[in-house]
Homo-oligomer: A and B are copies of this chain.
Amino acid sequence: MLVLQDVSGEIDAKVFQDVDTLDREFEVGEFVAVQGKGNVFNGRTELIIDRIRRVIPDDGAVGFREEDCVPASPRPVDEMWTELQERIRSVQSEPLRALLSGLVTEWESRLRIWPAARQVHHAYRSGLLEHILKIMEIGSLIAEAYGLRRDMVIAGALLHDIGKLQELSYEVATDYTVEGNLIGHIVIGTTMLREALVHYPEVPPAMAMELEHMILSHHGGKALGSPVTPMTPEAFVLAAADDLDAKMHQIRRHIATDTSGGRFTAYHRYLERVLLKPEDEGT
């Protein structure tokens, strides 16, 4: 059995003939062209495949576009990238701004497309970038409201999940790397920070240690997987903004994609509740 995926979701697919031949036609994670028919089995729609082959360049001419096949952020990636650059330019501390710019440049190819998770929230192409930007936006506003150091919150937003670039592998499908399982994105992130800091000796040691603390404490507490608890107001705000954006993403997406009848959505397993749908959608 195969699992085929495009931007609208996943579908099980079965091949009943020439199985051995087809096996050589494509690899996991490649784009394929498929011919077949639908079938309902155990209450789920599945696809009975007649022909399947990997996509070839000529398919572009008849309408194939990669972006139709991969779930991705609703925001265009170039627009997000520009916003990220602006946020970093707004950092007032010279050495901190240099450090962040350097990191962004070094990791650009991944940062542009990485998902924020394998499941749960922002689990699609460029989801991590979308998530970082929202934390920068929310975090800056809160920092200003309380007179905190905005620079640190911007930096924390960029750094907090940077370890995910090595925790997860992402080629159409998302999975955990060996390092991702054994070390985890929190500690991978601190190592990435330490390696970058070698090239930016102007960053004061106390600031560097606070940045590392923000990465380590951003899950908010030991029970949530952080080896230390936030001990600065900025680390606390980062953890709060991260949690808020992760949950808001689930809430809004669950409402937007709900197909059940009635005024409430189906039960959400992670949020442990049903959600009220806007009135016009209930009509």
A181 touches B276 (CB 8 A): yes
Interface check A263, CB cutoff 8 A: yes
B279 touches A206 (CB 8 A): yes
Interface check A252, CB cutoff 8 A: yes
Interface check A141, CB cutoff 8 A: yes
Interface check A229, CB cutoff 8 A: yes
Which residues from chain B contact A212 at a C-beta distance below 8 Å?
182-183, 187
Interface check A11, CB cutoff 8 A: no
Contact residue among B138, B186, B232, B264 (Cβ-Cβ distance under 8 Å from A276): B232
A233 touches B251 (CB 8 A): yes
Q: How far is the CB of A153 from chain B (nearest CB, A)?
A: 13
Question: In the assembly, how many copies of this chain are there?
Answer: 6
Contact residue among B194, B216, B252, B273 (Cβ-Cβ distance under 8 Å from A233): B252
Which residues from chain B contact A102 at a C-beta distance below 8 Å?
none
Interface size in chain A (residues, C-beta < 8 A): 58
Which residues from chain B contact A187 at a C-beta distance below 8 Å?
187, 190, 212, 216, 227
Known: A229-B272, A232-B276. A142 touches B244 (CB 8 A): yes
Those 6 A-B pairs whose CB atoms lie nearest each other, nearest first = A182-B213, A141-B141, A229-B273, A222-B225, A231-B276, A184-B228
Sampled A-B contacts (15; CB under 8 Å): A134-B145, A178-B264, A178-B276, A181-B276, A182-B212, A182-B228, A183-B209, A183-B213, A184-B227, A187-B212, A210-B276, A227-B227, A236-B248, A240-B243, A240-B247
Which residues from chain A sit less than 8 Å from chain B, CB to CB? 1, 42-43, 134, 137-138, 141-142, 145-146, 176, 178-179, 181-184, 186-187, 190-191, 194, 206, 209-210, 212-213, 216, 222-233, 236-237, 240, 243-244, 247-248, 251-252, 255, 263-264, 272-276, 279
